[in-house]
Amino acid sequence: MSRQHNTAPCWLEPDSPASAFPDVELALHEPDGLLAIGGDLSKPRLLEAYRRGIFPWYSDDQPILWWSPDPRLVLAPAGIRVSRSLAKTLRREKFTLTMDRAFNEVIQACAEPRPDQSGTWITADMMAAYTGLHADGYAHSVECWYRGELAGGLYGISLGRVFFGESMFSRVADASKVALVCLARQLARWEFPLIDCQVRTGHLERLGAAPISRTAFARILARETAQAPPPPKTWRFDADPDILR
Protein backbone atom coordinates (compact mmCIF):
# COMPACT_ATOMS: atom_id res chain seq x y z
CA MET A 1 0.00 0.00 0.00
CA SER A 2 1.41 3.41 -0.94
CA ARG A 3 1.68 6.08 1.74
CA GLN A 4 -0.70 9.02 1.51
CA HIS A 5 0.94 12.38 0.90
CA ASN A 6 -0.10 15.64 2.49
CA THR A 7 -1.94 18.20 0.40
CA ALA A 8 -0.68 20.93 2.75
CA PRO A 9 2.39 21.13 5.00
CA CYS A 10 2.14 20.64 8.75
CA TRP A 11 2.00 23.79 10.92
CA LEU A 12 4.33 23.89 13.93
CA GLU A 13 3.70 26.12 16.92
CA PRO A 14 6.76 27.84 18.43
CA ASP A 15 6.20 26.02 21.73
CA SER A 16 5.62 22.61 20.14
CA PRO A 17 8.13 19.88 21.04
CA ALA A 18 11.17 19.39 18.83
CA SER A 19 9.82 15.94 17.91
CA ALA A 20 6.64 17.44 16.41
CA PHE A 21 7.84 17.07 12.81
CA PRO A 22 5.69 14.73 10.72
CA ASP A 23 7.14 11.71 8.95
CA VAL A 24 9.42 12.94 6.13
CA GLU A 25 7.58 10.69 3.68
CA LEU A 26 4.61 13.06 4.07
CA ALA A 27 6.52 15.95 2.46
CA LEU A 28 4.87 17.58 -0.53
CA HIS A 29 5.69 16.64 -4.09
CA GLU A 30 5.21 20.27 -5.16
CA PRO A 31 7.08 22.22 -4.01
CA ASP A 32 9.37 19.23 -3.68
CA GLY A 33 10.07 18.35 -0.08
CA LEU A 34 8.11 21.03 1.79
CA LEU A 35 7.18 19.30 5.05
CA ALA A 36 6.30 21.85 7.71
CA ILE A 37 5.88 25.55 8.41
CA GLY A 38 6.53 27.49 11.61
CA GLY A 39 8.14 26.42 14.84
CA ASP A 40 11.43 28.02 15.79
CA LEU A 41 15.18 27.69 15.30
CA SER A 42 15.98 26.42 18.78
CA LYS A 43 18.91 24.04 19.16
CA PRO A 44 16.72 21.01 20.04
CA ARG A 45 14.46 21.56 17.03
CA LEU A 46 17.34 22.10 14.60
CA LEU A 47 19.22 19.01 15.80
CA GLU A 48 16.07 16.90 15.64
CA ALA A 49 15.43 18.19 12.13
CA TYR A 50 18.88 17.29 10.85
CA ARG A 51 18.79 13.84 12.44
CA ARG A 52 15.63 13.18 10.45
CA GLY A 53 16.85 14.68 7.17
CA ILE A 54 14.97 17.99 7.47
CA PHE A 55 16.43 21.47 7.05
CA PRO A 56 15.09 25.06 7.23
CA TRP A 57 15.11 27.22 4.11
CA TYR A 58 13.09 30.40 3.83
CA SER A 59 13.30 34.15 3.20
CA ASP A 60 12.89 37.11 5.55
CA ASP A 61 9.31 37.69 4.36
CA GLN A 62 8.26 34.07 5.01
CA PRO A 63 7.63 31.93 8.08
CA ILE A 64 10.19 29.19 8.77
CA LEU A 65 9.87 26.52 6.06
CA TRP A 66 11.14 22.99 6.71
CA TRP A 67 12.19 20.74 3.80
CA SER A 68 13.01 17.11 3.09
CA PRO A 69 13.32 16.70 -0.69
CA ASP A 70 13.29 13.44 -2.61
CA PRO A 71 15.74 12.55 -4.05
CA ARG A 72 18.51 13.92 -1.84
CA LEU A 73 21.88 14.98 -3.24
CA VAL A 74 24.79 13.49 -1.31
CA LEU A 75 28.55 13.30 -1.76
CA ALA A 76 30.73 10.44 -0.55
CA PRO A 77 33.85 12.16 0.86
CA ALA A 78 36.18 9.46 -0.47
CA GLY A 79 34.65 9.79 -3.93
CA ILE A 80 34.94 13.52 -4.52
CA ARG A 81 35.83 14.22 -8.14
CA VAL A 82 38.68 16.66 -8.84
CA SER A 83 39.05 18.02 -12.36
CA ARG A 84 42.47 18.52 -13.93
CA SER A 85 42.27 22.28 -13.54
CA LEU A 86 41.20 22.02 -9.90
CA ALA A 87 43.94 19.49 -9.21
CA LYS A 88 46.45 21.96 -10.65
CA THR A 89 45.10 24.66 -8.32
CA LEU A 90 45.46 22.32 -5.35
CA ARG A 91 49.04 21.42 -6.27
CA ARG A 92 50.01 25.09 -6.50
CA GLU A 93 49.06 25.47 -2.82
CA LYS A 94 48.05 29.10 -3.39
CA PHE A 95 45.45 28.82 -0.63
CA THR A 96 45.76 28.23 3.10
CA LEU A 97 43.00 26.10 4.61
CA THR A 98 41.65 26.21 8.16
CA MET A 99 38.66 24.86 10.06
CA ASP A 100 36.56 26.63 12.69
CA ARG A 101 38.85 29.66 12.72
CA ALA A 102 36.38 32.23 11.32
CA PHE A 103 32.87 30.75 11.50
CA ASN A 104 31.16 34.13 11.93
CA GLU A 105 32.96 35.61 8.93
CA VAL A 106 32.10 32.58 6.78
CA ILE A 107 28.38 32.60 7.55
CA GLN A 108 28.24 36.36 7.03
CA ALA A 109 29.93 35.98 3.64
CA CYS A 110 27.54 33.18 2.69
CA ALA A 111 24.62 35.44 3.62
CA GLU A 112 25.66 38.17 1.19
CA PRO A 113 23.31 38.25 -1.83
CA ARG A 114 24.73 36.72 -5.00
CA PRO A 115 25.01 38.94 -8.11
CA ASP A 116 21.84 37.39 -9.57
CA GLN A 117 19.84 37.56 -6.32
CA SER A 118 17.98 40.38 -4.60
CA GLY A 119 18.07 38.86 -1.11
CA THR A 120 19.34 35.97 0.97
CA TRP A 121 17.84 32.95 2.71
CA ILE A 122 20.41 33.19 5.51
CA THR A 123 18.38 35.53 7.68
CA ALA A 124 19.56 37.22 10.88
CA ASP A 125 17.69 34.57 12.91
CA MET A 126 19.38 31.80 10.91
CA MET A 127 22.81 33.33 11.48
CA ALA A 128 22.16 33.59 15.22
CA ALA A 129 20.92 29.99 15.42
CA TYR A 130 23.85 28.48 13.54
CA THR A 131 26.39 30.61 15.37
CA GLY A 132 24.94 29.16 18.59
CA LEU A 133 25.29 25.64 17.17
CA HIS A 134 28.90 26.43 16.34
CA ALA A 135 29.56 27.49 19.93
CA ASP A 136 28.15 24.13 21.04
CA GLY A 137 30.33 22.14 18.61
CA TYR A 138 27.63 21.16 16.09
CA ALA A 139 28.24 23.70 13.31
CA HIS A 140 31.62 23.95 11.60
CA SER A 141 33.30 26.09 8.98
CA VAL A 142 36.08 25.64 6.46
CA GLU A 143 38.04 28.76 5.56
CA CYS A 144 40.10 29.25 2.42
CA TRP A 145 42.62 32.08 2.70
CA TYR A 146 44.55 33.87 -0.07
CA ARG A 147 47.32 36.28 0.85
CA GLY A 148 45.97 36.55 4.36
CA GLU A 149 42.40 37.39 3.29
CA LEU A 150 39.32 35.17 3.46
CA ALA A 151 38.84 34.04 -0.14
CA GLY A 152 36.11 31.45 0.24
CA GLY A 153 34.67 28.81 2.47
CA LEU A 154 31.65 26.86 3.62
CA TYR A 155 29.75 25.88 6.74
CA GLY A 156 27.39 23.16 7.88
CA ILE A 157 26.22 20.89 10.68
CA SER A 158 27.89 17.70 11.89
CA LEU A 159 26.02 14.93 13.71
CA GLY A 160 27.79 11.63 14.31
CA ARG A 161 29.56 10.91 11.02
CA VAL A 162 27.35 12.95 8.71
CA PHE A 163 28.14 16.48 7.56
CA PHE A 164 25.15 18.53 6.41
CA GLY A 165 26.42 21.22 4.06
CA GLU A 166 24.57 24.52 4.30
CA SER A 167 26.25 27.15 2.14
CA MET A 168 29.54 28.11 0.48
CA PHE A 169 31.02 31.23 -1.08
CA SER A 170 33.98 32.36 -3.18
CA ARG A 171 35.72 35.68 -3.55
CA VAL A 172 38.63 34.16 -5.48
CA ALA A 173 38.20 31.62 -8.29
CA ASP A 174 38.07 28.00 -7.06
CA ALA A 175 38.24 28.97 -3.36
CA SER A 176 34.97 27.27 -2.39
CA LYS A 177 35.84 24.18 -4.46
CA VAL A 178 39.20 23.89 -2.71
CA ALA A 179 37.44 24.23 0.66
CA LEU A 180 35.01 21.43 -0.23
CA VAL A 181 37.71 19.12 -1.58
CA CYS A 182 39.86 19.55 1.53
CA LEU A 183 36.85 19.07 3.80
CA ALA A 184 35.92 15.88 1.94
CA ARG A 185 39.45 14.51 2.28
CA GLN A 186 39.47 15.21 6.01
CA LEU A 187 36.02 13.69 6.50
CA ALA A 188 37.15 10.58 4.61
CA ARG A 189 39.94 10.20 7.18
CA TRP A 190 37.32 10.45 9.91
CA GLU A 191 35.33 7.75 8.08
CA PHE A 192 32.30 9.91 7.31
CA PRO A 193 30.16 8.06 4.73
CA LEU A 194 28.55 11.17 3.22
CA ILE A 195 28.14 14.90 2.97
CA ASP A 196 24.54 16.05 2.59
CA CYS A 197 24.28 18.51 -0.31
CA GLN A 198 20.48 18.84 0.06
CA VAL A 199 19.27 19.57 -3.49
CA ARG A 200 20.61 18.84 -6.94
CA THR A 201 22.97 21.31 -8.60
CA GLY A 202 25.20 20.80 -11.61
CA HIS A 203 28.13 22.36 -9.75
CA LEU A 204 28.04 19.73 -6.99
CA GLU A 205 27.27 16.86 -9.34
CA ARG A 206 30.42 17.69 -11.32
CA LEU A 207 32.33 17.26 -8.04
CA GLY A 208 30.88 13.77 -7.60
CA ALA A 209 27.62 14.33 -5.73
CA ALA A 210 24.75 12.04 -6.71
CA PRO A 211 21.06 11.73 -5.81
CA ILE A 212 19.74 9.01 -3.53
CA SER A 213 16.19 8.36 -2.38
CA ARG A 214 14.90 10.07 0.74
CA THR A 215 14.24 6.62 2.21
CA ALA A 216 17.86 5.54 1.71
CA PHE A 217 19.09 8.85 3.11
CA ALA A 218 16.95 8.42 6.24
CA ARG A 219 18.37 4.93 6.81
CA ILE A 220 21.93 6.29 6.67
CA LEU A 221 21.07 9.08 9.09
CA ALA A 222 19.47 6.69 11.57
CA ARG A 223 22.66 4.62 11.63
CA GLU A 224 25.36 7.27 11.44
CA THR A 225 23.94 10.02 13.66
CA ALA A 226 22.83 7.73 16.50
CA GLN A 227 25.74 5.31 16.83
CA ALA A 228 28.85 6.89 15.37
CA PRO A 229 31.15 8.81 17.76
CA PRO A 230 31.67 12.43 16.73
CA PRO A 231 35.01 14.00 15.80
CA PRO A 232 36.45 16.69 18.11
CA LYS A 233 34.25 19.63 19.10
CA THR A 234 36.63 22.06 17.39
CA TRP A 235 37.75 20.81 13.99
CA ARG A 236 41.28 21.00 12.61
CA PHE A 237 42.82 19.63 9.44
CA ASP A 238 45.37 16.88 9.89
CA ALA A 239 48.90 18.24 9.65
CA ASP A 240 49.44 16.48 6.35
CA PRO A 241 50.25 18.14 3.00
CA ASP A 242 48.30 15.45 1.13
CA ILE A 243 45.09 17.26 2.04
CA LEU A 244 46.06 19.83 -0.62
CA ARG A 245 47.22 17.39 -3.28
Q: 36-46, pLDDT tens digit by residue?
A: 999 999 999 99
Predicted local confidence at residue 223, as pLDDT: 93
Average pLDDT, whole number, for the chain? 91
Q: Tell me which DSSP letter residue 210 carries.
A: E
Residue 3 has pLDDT above 60, yes or no: no
Do 124 and 171 lie in one domain? The reply is: yes
Do 105 and 151 lie in one domain? The reply is: yes
pLDDT (tens digit per residue) in 192-219: 999 999 988 888 999 999 999 999 999 9
Do 30 and 101 lie in one domain? The reply is: no
Q: What is the pTM of this model?
A: 0.92
pLDDT (tens digit per residue) in 122-169: 999 999 999 999 999 999 999 999 999 999 999 999 999 999 999 999
Structural domain includes residue 2: no
Residue 241 has pLDDT above 60, yes or no: no
Predicted local confidence at residue 119, as pLDDT: 57
Do 22 and 77 lie in one domain? The reply is: no
Do 118 and 236 lie in one domain? The reply is: yes
Total domain count for the chain?
2
Do 178 and 214 lie in one domain? The reply is: yes
Q: What backbone phi and psi angles, to 5 degrees, belong to 35? A: -115, -45
216 class by beta-carbon count within 10 Å (0-12 exposed, 13-18 middle, 19+ buried): middle
- Domain of 31, CATH number, reads 3.30.70.3550
Average pLDDT, stretch 59-80?
Answer: 96
Do 120 and 213 lie in one domain? The reply is: yes
Q: Which domain holds residue 118?
A: 73-244
**CA distances in angstroms from 127 to 60, 87, 108, 112, 155, listed in the order given:** 12, 33, 8, 12, 11
Predicted local confidence at residue 231, as pLDDT: 72
Structural domain includes residue 3: no
pLDDT band, very low/low/confident/very high, at 228 (cuts 50, 70, 90): low
Do 138 and 37 lie in one domain? The reply is: no
Do 117 and 56 lie in one domain? The reply is: no
Predicted local confidence at residue 5, as pLDDT: 53
Print the SS3 string covering 214-229.
HHHHHHHHHHHCCCCC
